[in-house]
Structure 1
Amino acid sequence: MEIELSADVIKRIPNFKLGIILYKDIIVGDSPQMVKGRLQLFQESIYFELEDKNVTDLPGIDEWRKIFKLTGKDPNRYRPSAEALFRRIKKQNYLTPIQSAIDINNFFSLQYQVPIGIYDSDQLSGSLKVQLGQEGEEYLGLNGRINSLENLIVLSDQQGAFGSPFVDSTRAPVTKETKNALQVIFLRPSTDIENAEKLTVSLMNMFTQIHGGEASCQILS
């Protein structure tokens, strides 16, 4: 699967980078109790950590809010997805287990303080591109709303945009029927290549421990 990083993104954010993971022949189901327990305990520790600070004080959240500003998207109206997770936890509205792929995604998004998307790659077509959304571009998101993609970093295939660090579309979500998947880590630009690789491999290894299958990864920068 070819993935291209557009010049307009590089121009706005010179150190922009993504962790890209491809999975084949995975089995998605209910999360094992170990994952459910770790996710719950982690959220509780985050809640106590946030008692005397704002979500925007977290370095990863602050950095991604600045990225939104650099592309021309107001982070107060369009919050990075990781920020939305932390805000839920600060209100003690903890994330409940959904299914294994989403639960792992949420766990690592909280751990790394970055947006992470996962998509059913069999629902995607042709080569992919990471670019800025254009005026009038929009899609139906997993938040149940039609979302404006203008000035938002988006993932697109031949059919158009399907994902972003704000909210993903309803076109290619991973379900319990998914066998092949694409996972995208919207890394902090300040993360060096060595640590970006370690972080990506760590997520890939935990994902395959739970879901089986084969996986390969790369850093796109």
Structure 2
Amino acid sequence: MHFQHSTDLWQDFPHLVPGVIFTRGITHDATVDRPVTEFSAAAAERLTASQESGLPEVQAWRRAFSAMGLKPTQYRCASESLLRRFRKEGSLPRIHPLIDLCNAASLAYGIPVGVFDASRISGNLEVRYADGDEAYATFSGGTERPDPREVIFADDARRAHARRWTNRQSGYSAVRDSTSEVLIVVEGLHETAPADVPKLIAALAEEMRTHWPVTPQTAVLTQASPRFVC
């Protein structure tokens, strides 16, 4: 399987910095309390100085959503949504240890982190503009069709594993207790993303090695080298 962003998406968003992690051997019984607490504390400290809407990482995604014709306060990137809930409630619900870890890291860095059950992806996965006939499975079991030119994560079976880029993932490839093989995608558009995304990828990979018997494969992609093979 390979993962990449389409050529026209790179042309429209040349400042994009994607980071990727792939590994096998994830289980649902790991305990990740320590890193979740540490990442959450870092996020809480950042939020004492600014609400999530003022963070440069979030502002960059708001500009991107506006450029795509989406209202940023109606469709928020995943990290902004998590930060907003965390600021209001003081914590995030526990779902699965890997999801809990990635959500907490997303809070700390302010950067969207997508986690996919790789076994549910047919063939390759590309972040691209939708044609409009792709199938997106909601968490409630329904099926939606993305709007033409909407940015989606699409596999070779024309299934959309995320809609509106970093706004909403699909229930079809969501991590569950039976998940073993995962693809994690981190995407930054802000000025310091070239430094921040590698740090976030490294931090997640280190915590994964600590809490699971895995050897994560990682990469930071560029417009010149846009493909990740796993």
Report the TM range for the smaller structure's normalisation: 0.7 to 0.9
**Which residue pairs with 1:59 in the alignment?**
56
CA deviation string 1:63-102 (max 9, x = no partner): 1111112222221221111111111123235312222111
Residue 162 in 1 paired to residue 161 in 2? yes
Identity of aligned residues (%): 23
Q: TM-score, normalised by structure 2?
A: 0.82
2: CA distance, partners of 1:93 / 1:134: 39
1: CA distance, partners of 2:90 / 2:137: 24
* Aligned residues between the structures: 218
**Which residue pairs with 1:24 in the alignment?**
24
Query: 1:1-221 residue pairs with structure 2 within 5 A?
Result: 1-29=1-29, 31-38=31-38, 41-42=41-42, 44-45=44-45, 49=48, 53-92=50-89, 94-135=91-132, 139-142=136-139, 149-150=146-147, 151-159=149-157, 160-163=159-162, 164-191=165-192, 193=194, 195-221=196-222
Cα distance, 1:29–1:96 mapped onto 2, change above 3 Å: same
2: CA distance, partners of 1:104 / 1:80: 18
AA at the equivalent of 1:212: P
2: CA distance, partners of 1:143 / 1:74: 24
Cα distance, 1:44–1:192 mapped onto 2, change above 3 Å: closer
Contact 1:5 1:220 in 2 (8 A): no
Q: Secondary structure at the match of 1:178?
A: coil
Cα distance, 1:189–1:2 mapped onto 2, change above 3 Å: farther
CA deviation string 1:121-164 (max 9, x = no partner): 11111111111234465623348876663344321111221024
Q: TM-score, normalised by structure 1?
A: 0.85
Query: Which structure 2 segments of 5+ residues have no match?
Result: 223-230
Query: Which structure 1 segments of 5+ residues have no match?
Result: none
1: CA distance, partners of 2:86 / 2:180: 31
When structure 1 is superposed on structure 2, of 151-160 and 26-35 the one drifting more is 26-35
Q: Secondary structure at the match of 1:119?
A: strand
Contact 2:6 2:127 in 1 (8 A): yes
Cα distance, 1:138–1:107 mapped onto 2, change above 3 Å: same
Contact 2:57 2:188 in 1 (8 A): no
